[in-house]
């Protein structure tokens, strides 16, 4: 194991967690946004002597201009004074709005994956296995209350 791998592992074994502070209306769930993940990692990375940055670039099998690229990568570059590790995250988008969203998503997932940050709802592998239906929450019974009396000014 290299020194940088040992430093990454030292952060990953800390059990860093994030507050789920953002809503995902598509799945009716909550998640920790990128800023929250970055803040949670700031001190542990500093203590381990690690820094990082992201870079995004196009990939294509043929020499075409980036606007016609078939695939894109966000890369997390983790570094020390002596070493670096690059972790790629591929995605494909052509719409600029969707691309920006995909880049943010990739950054958040790269950080949480590489440093083992617990920031997502655990769906017990349902999404990966194609089961995307959410269980229906049971409604709690409510007490019957009398209708409020009208008020007059």
Q: Which tens digits make up the pLDDT trace of 104-134?
A: 999 999 999 999 998 755 555 556 566 666 5
| 139 assigned to some structural domain | no
What pLDDT does 21 receive?
83
| 77 assigned to some structural domain | yes
Q: How confident is the model at residue 138 (pLDDT cuts 50, 70, 90)?
A: very low
**Cα dist from 73 to 23, 50, 105, 112, whole Å:** 26, 22, 12, 17
| Residues spanned by the domain of 59 | 3-114
Selection from 86, 74, 72, 81 nearest residue 114 by Cα: 86
| 136 assigned to some structural domain | no
| 106 assigned to some structural domain | yes
Q: d(Cα 92, Cα 106) in Å, to the nearest integer?
A: 11
| 148 assigned to some structural domain | no
| 131 assigned to some structural domain | no
Give CA angle at 65 (61, 66), nearest 5°.
Answer: 85
| 128 assigned to some structural domain | no
Taking residue 56's Cβ as centre, other Cβ atoms within 10 Å add up to 15
| 107 assigned to some structural domain | yes
Query: Between the CA atoms of 111, 117, 121 and 126, what dihedral angle is there, to the nearest 10 degrees?
Result: 70
Count structural domains, the chain: 1
């Amino acid at each position: 194991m290299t020194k940088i791998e040992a430093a990454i592992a030292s952060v990953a074994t800390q059990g860093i967690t994030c507050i789920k502070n953002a809503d995902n209306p598509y799945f009716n769930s909550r998640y920790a946004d990128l800023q929250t993940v970055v803040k949670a990692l700031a001190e542990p990375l500093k203590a381990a002597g690690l820094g990082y940055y992201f870079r995004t670039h196009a990939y294509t099998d043929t020499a075409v201009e980036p606007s016609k690229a078939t695939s894109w990568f966000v890369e997390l570059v983790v570094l020390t004074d002596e070493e670096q590790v690059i972790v790629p995250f591929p995605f494909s988008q052509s719409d600029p709005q969707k691309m920006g969203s995909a880049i943010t998503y990739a950054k958040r997932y790269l950080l949480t994956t590489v440093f083992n940050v617990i920031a997502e709802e655990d769906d017990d592998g349902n999404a990966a296995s194609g089961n995307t239906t959410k269980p229906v929450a049971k409604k709690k019974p409510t007490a019957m209350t009398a209708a409020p009396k009208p008020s007059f000014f």
